[in-house]
Amino acid sequence: MTNPTQYRLNKYISDTGFCSRRQADKYIEQGLVTVNGQIAPVGLKVSSSDEVTVDGKPLQEKPARIYLAYHKPVGITCTTERHVKGNIIDAIGYPQRIFPIGRLDKPSEGLIFLTNDGDIVNKVLRAGNAHEKEYSVTVNKPISASFIERMAKGVPILDTVTLPCTVTQVSRNTFKIILTQGLNRQIRRMAEYLGYEVVKLKRTRIMHIRLAELRAGQWRLLDKFELAQMEQLLQSSVKTAELAEHDDEE
């Protein structure tokens, strides 16, 4: 007989949509989580056959996975903290618990994914998995050929050198850039290092999904064809708990 798959208790609670992993850890530390009638210790692993309650409430079955694309407008903050004015969760108003995959700065706009599937997050974001993110960027003065070349080769920021990327001039002050990493405020810092200031930044694509006709503030669920292609692209992707390298998506 095959043993049932076991999960860390905080992940198991989070996957049901009851709360975040961080909040689950707090419930566990406070002795408010029971497994099969016993107060659960920190670090316990459970399976779907175990009876888990949080603060006296039994957990519901794990909900269907949700994946949506959102055109984040300028001014919206990519946080799940509801007390923050203009947070992305209130802006979307989705009826079930979801969270953003990565982030875009408050002054930036464009495509961002939200989901209730914690397993997918690092697979999408981790630079080593080389999933492309495309941006349209406008700067404060005319772009030179040297600027395009140096941006593409890599720029020293945050005690490292950015990975080589594809940069194409679109107009006098606008360029397109395709990244496979997401250091904190990466594009803004790269431009600043070369003497430019970003005045407009829009993410237009993540992997195979494009912003397309989504207007600022609109969202849509990914369709089955997009999800099938995403699953295929993520099959060989590595998960990691190290999030520092993609603290920000631009």
Residues belonging to the active site: 105
* φ/ψ of residue 28, rounded to 5: -65, -45
The strand pair at 109-115 and 198-206 is best described as parallel
CA 200 to each of CA 24, 104, 188: distance values in angstroms, whole numbers, following the listed order: 38, 12, 10
Q: Which residues contact 162 (CB under 8 A, 6 or more apart)?
A: 154, 155, 156, 181, 183, 186, 190
- Positive or negative, the CA dihedral 16, 19, 24, 27 is negative
* 158, 132 Cβ separation under 8 angstroms: no
> What is the rounded end-to-end Cα distance, in angstroms, of the chain?
48
What sign has the CA pseudo-torsion 147, 151, 154, 159?
positive
